[in-house]
Structures are given as C-alpha cells and as structure tokens.
Structure 1
C-alpha cells in the first residue's frame, strides 16, 4: 500500500476513535468489515449502532469501520493492524483476504480478543481468533443447490458468481453448492455431476464490485443463450437494482418459463423486490443486522474471560415467491 493511502487510513481511523469526548473515554469494540460500499455491511453496521443506543452507560462503544472499497483487501488489513496498535478492547473482523489477515495477526500477536464475523479465517488459522459469529456458509451453499434441484431436476449448465478469491465465506458457499449438486464432497468444479456442468469462464469473481457483477452477468447471458442456471453466491449484482433490472431484462422470458434459474444470496429490500418481480427464483438470506448487534456482547464476554461457543451461527432464511410476506428483508 502506498504511503499516502496509509496516512489517509490512519488519519481516518484516528478521527473515528476520537469522534467525541464521550466516545474517546469509552473502550472501543471494533467491527471491521470488507468494505463500506457494500449495502450488506451497512445493515451489519446498523446492528452495531443499535447496540450503542441500547447501552448508553456501557464502558464500551461499538465502532463500525472498514475500507471505503470492498476491493481494498490491503486496506482492511491495515485498518485492523492500526486498531491493534491503538490497543482497542476487542476486534470483530470480516476478512476479505483470509490468508493476508492471518499473516498480519500472526505477526502482531494481539493481546485483545479477536473474533471473526460474517467471514472466517481459513481452517489452518482459526486458532488466531476466539470465535466466529455469522452464517454457516457451507449450509448456505447447500440450500442454494437444493433450491436449484427443486426448480430443475434435469440439470444443465450453470455459472456461479463469487466475490473475492481468498474470501473463506464465499469459498465455503461454493463448496456447499458443488458438493450438494454432486452428491459427494471435494468437488472443485462440476463436470456433469448431478447433471450439472459449469460453463467455461466460470466461476466469476466480482471482487465485491456491484458494477462488475452486473457486467459479468450481462456478458454471460449474451455469450451463453442456453445457460440453465446462474447462482449469485452473494448479492452483489442485486445491490445495484437499476443495473440488475436491465441485465435481467435480457432474459426475462427465460426466467418466467424457468428455462433459466437465478438463485442469489441475501435478502436486502432491493433483492426481495427482484424476487417479487420475477428477476430471481430464490434468495437465501443471511442475518447481518444480528451479526452487528451481537458482536459487542460477544467481545465483552471474551474480554471478561467467559467461555464462548465457537462457532456462533446466526441462521439462514429461504425466500421464494410464495413466502415473501413472511420473509425478513435484512
């Protein structure tokens, strides 16, 4: 990372930590996400903010932060390193690049409790954090596969859209999807297993960029007119509802006839609108608000030496056109 960027990140973090005299007197519980440009994390941050509102007399304050762009993996690592150097009370991290975050944590050996939220570290590095709070991401992929098989029992061609290459949560979802379609574990790529084959050029990696996600979808639909399924392992394209509407206009008749199936992760309001309007067939929802709201309490328990379960799963919601009225929009 360039020196000028490091200075900016450090200055911004210092400003956040000293935003008000009251906040400065409190101990900081930091919640660090992959990027502030992702609406999913905005909802997670709302949970952190509500915790502060509900606990005005607490000696702790919840600080929601992260790099401006979800594509800035190095920036997220630097923010966490700065928080460790400043001696905050505890940190909950959603690592964008799990190996890079683990490397930094090994080097710093932080004294405060570290937990992961939304996304975990790799299996070999889990000892670097106390617990994980968030989605069972493997099971999320399993549910996506089950809905696809229920909508198309014959199989066909499929493209998966992923996020960052080194994001453990996204890779777990992909594994759950492939294993369930194939009927056996350890499938790196579908080549006819369960009747499904991944097309050339897929999976796609969005780097958590909304515009790129929509462009990728459009390109795939244009180049593969006989595609049978598109799986958004995360909700990136749908986070740009206008662009997503334009992209799915290309294939609206196929979506209506179920010749093409779209299944996506997350259930933010624009995504449920897409489901309602026939622009997807199922949404597998996480619970980001709960993650942000629970994280401070978990960190306080860890600081106090209490035994905390690992992992702490927040559950999943299966949203389809027939249960939209009961499906939580977050």
Structure 2
C-alpha cells in the first residue's frame, strides 16, 4: 500500500509538472507591429487576444509584439530577428521600413512561414512572404480622393500627411489618392491635375507620431490660410484627441462652412468622436481587429501547407456627413 501511494504521488508530481511545460511548449504565432504606442495596433492586439480566448486548447499561441515607439524602425527589425532566431512557428509582420525589413528577412532566410499584416513589403520583395493580410491601401487612397471630390468638385489646394517615408501601405494610399484626384496613373505630386495642387512643404511625414502630426497640421494651417483640403492618409493626429481638438479649433469656422475640408484614415473611437464633433468631413476606416483575429488562422494554414489567397483584404468602412454609417455610434 505504501509503495502504491508513493507511486501515485510520483505520478501526480509528473502530471503537475507536465502542465506548465506543456503550456511553455506551445508553438508561437508572432505578430510584429510597427510600434506599441499606436492605438491602431492595439486593435490588432485585441484581435490576437480574442483568437487566444477562443483557441485555449490549441497547440499554438498568438504573440503580439513590436518596438515601444513607432519611430523605432531598427528596433522592429531587431525584434523580428530575435523571434526568428529564438524560434517561432510562423510570423506576421507590419513592416515600418519595408526595404530594411525585407533585407533582414532575405539575409535570415527563415524556414518558417512569413506573412505581412497591415503593411506589405515593396513589390520587388513580396517573394519573401506567403501572403498579405490587411487593407487594400491603394483603394483606401481612392476612397479618400472620392470623398474629397464630392466635397470639392473643382479641386483646390491640398496637403497630404503621411507616416514613415518607407511605409509601403501609406505610400500606396497616397498613390491611390493622387491617381484618383488627378485622373491619371503614377502621379508623384499634384500640380494642377484634376484641379488639385499640393502646397509647398507638403506632403508632411509624421513618423507615426501623434504629437508631430498635430504640430504639422497647425503649421500647415498657419502657412496656408487659403488651404482647401487636408488629408490625413493615416489617423495619427486624431489619436491624440485633445491636441487634435486644439488644432482644429484654429480653423473650426472654415470646417463648418467647408471652406476647408479634412479627410482622415481610420475609425477608432477618438476619431469617430472627432467626426461627430465636426472636426473631419469623412473617415475611411480599416479593420485592424479583424487583422489580428484572422492572422493566427492564416499562419496555421501556411504551416500546414494549405493554399492561401494573396492578398487577403479585410475591407473598409467609409463615413461622411451624408452617411455617417459606422461612425454614427462607434
């Protein structure tokens, strides 16, 4: 009897020890974003967490990470390097500096599946990843231009606010806007085509920083009192609602009369509130939660050698004053 109890005790100890080990041995599906300081990416994190809550018994876990600052392009590359060196089952990357990230992936030549999410590699580097999951960014720019044209049919002076210089997704939106506004393909800068002219000093680049974005808006408004349109290709300035309110207070009369229009990307809660407060005329929103929620399943498909479409678009939500839609209650 004593021996039997000892054996049972030993078995229990093994079982108890096996629990944590098994948890530690879960295979990692990593999502690496441009920066943890951007509330847009927190929505991707929430999607990742939702997937985890629904797949607690899975052999895989969803890991969300990135550099502390969206301006730390080198930090993002290092995180990806570290993850691949440590060993992950698959990785989904939103590259801040697309060429730099592609160069590192090419050098590492990982054996695990690599995909992009939210932002893609440049076209010449897309052989490095299996698929892209996220927004049709060119179409997003098209939608922004359509909203601007509806409000300013004759065109006018415009300033585009972009993010990081080498961010493929942001540059694709800018191209979609310029092509649609001009009625021509491959326009590098609007100089009167379709009635639109980009003012001197624009585009401006925020490096994904909300404080810089708001300062740039204020400076552009001061330097261009007759500006017709300001286009936030991404929602950076609106991510700091207090600062954004102060900046738009400077031009509130013009916004109300539509002498000056503001079109912005994304539809996070502070942004839809700004829209309802009359601090923008249209919002073209992505679906970051869906990106974070779907990415683990796509990575598992890739691990299993299944055929996956490329690209995988997650759709857009358009709000304007005639049809608030998504922005009415969110």
TM-score, length-scaled by structure 1: 0.92
How far residue 45 of structure 1 moved from its aligned partner, in angstroms, is: 0.6
Contact 1:70 1:209 in 2 (8 A): yes
Q: Tell whether 2:100 aligns with 1:82.
A: no
Q: CA deviation at 1:329?
A: 7.4
Partner of 1:66: 66
Maintained 8 Å contact 1:32/1:94: yes
The aligned residue for residue 3 of structure 2 is none
In structure 1, distance between residues paired with 2:300 and 2:328? 28
The separation in 2 between residues aligned to 1:292 and 1:133, in whole angstroms, is 9
Structure 2 residue 69 is the aligned partner of structure 1 residue 35: no
Quote the Cα distance in structure 2 between the aligned partners of 1:237 and 1:192. 27
Give the secondary-structure state (helix, strand or coil) at the position aligned to 1:280.
coil
Q: Give the Cα–Cα distance (whole angstroms) in 1 for the partners of residues 225 and 168 of structure 2.
A: 31
Matches within 5 A, 1:68-147: 68-147=68-147
Q: Residue 246 of structure 1 aligns to a residue in which SS? A: helix
Q: CA deviation at 1:321?
A: 2.8
Give yes or no for contact 1:239–1:271 (8 Å, CA) kept in 2: yes
Q: Which residue of 2 aligns with 1:218?
A: 218
- Which digits, 9 at most, give the CA deviation of each residue in 1:16-48, with x for residues without a partner? xxxx75652200000000000000000111000
Secondary structure of the corresponding residue to residue 323 of structure 1: coil
Query: In 2, are the aligned partners of 1:135 and 1:316 still within 8 Å (CA)?
Result: yes
Structure of greater Rg: 2
Q: What's the CA shift string for 1:255-293, capped at 9, x where partnerless? A: 000000100000001000010000000000000000000
Is the Cα–Cα contact under 8 Å of residues 23 and 61 in structure 1 kept in the other structure?
A: no
1:145 and 1:178 in contact (8 A); partners too: yes
- State the 1:81 CA deviation: 0.5
The 2-side partners of 1:251 and 1:265 are apart by: 20
Tell me the SS of whatever aligns to 1:157.
strand
Separation in structure 1 between the aligned mates of residue 85 and residue 160 of structure 2, nearest angstrom:
39
Aligned-pair CA distance for 1:102: 0.4
Query: How far apart, CA to CA, are the structure 1 residues paired with 2:60 and 2:149?
Result: 47
Residue-by-residue CA offset, 1:112-168 (whole Å, 9 max, x unaligned): 000000000000000000000000000000000000000001111000000000000
Checking the alignment, whether the CA contact within 8 Å between 1:164 and 1:208 is kept in structure 2 is yes
Decide whether the 8 Å contact of 1:119 with 1:168 is kept in 2.
yes
Identify if the C-alpha distance between structure 1 residues 155 and 245 changes in structure 2 by more than 3 Å, giving closer, same or farther. Answer: same
Instruction: Report the Cα distance in structure 1 between the residues aligned to 2:222 and 2:195, rounded to whole angstroms.
Output: 23
1:11-22 equivalence runs, <5 A: none
Q: Which position in structure 1 is the counterpart of 2:202?
A: 202
The ranges of structure 1 where at least 4 consecutive aligned residues each deviate by more than 6 angstroms after the TM superposition are none
CA drift of 1:315 comes to: 0.3
- Counterpart secondary structure, 2:323: helix
Give, in angstroms, the shift of residue 322 of structure 1. Answer: 3.7
- Find the counterpart in structure 1 of residue 51 from structure 2: 51
Q: By how many angstroms is 1:87 displaced?
A: 1.4
- For 1:170 and 1:66, locate their aligned partners in 2 and report how far apart those are by CA, in whole Å: 19
Which ranges in structure 1 are unaligned for 5 or more consecutive residues? 1-19
**Kept after mapping to 1: 8 A contact 2:317/2:326:** no
User: Within 1, Cα distance between the matches of 2:170 and 2:209?
Assistant: 14
Q: 1:267 to 1:23 in 2, by over 3 A?
A: farther
SS in 2 for 1:116: strand
CA contact (8 A) 2:272 2:328 kept: no
Task: Give the corresponding residue for 1:15.
Answer: none
Find the aligned partners of 2:304 and 2:194 in 1 and give their Cα distance. 49
Matches within 5 A, 1:300-311: 300-311=300-311
Residue 326 of structure 1: how far off its partner (Å): 4.0
CA distance in 2, matches of 1:112, 1:50: 24
- The DSSP-based 3-state class of the residue aligned with 1:61 is strand
When the two chains are superposed, the root-mean-square deviation of aligned CA atoms in Å is 1.2
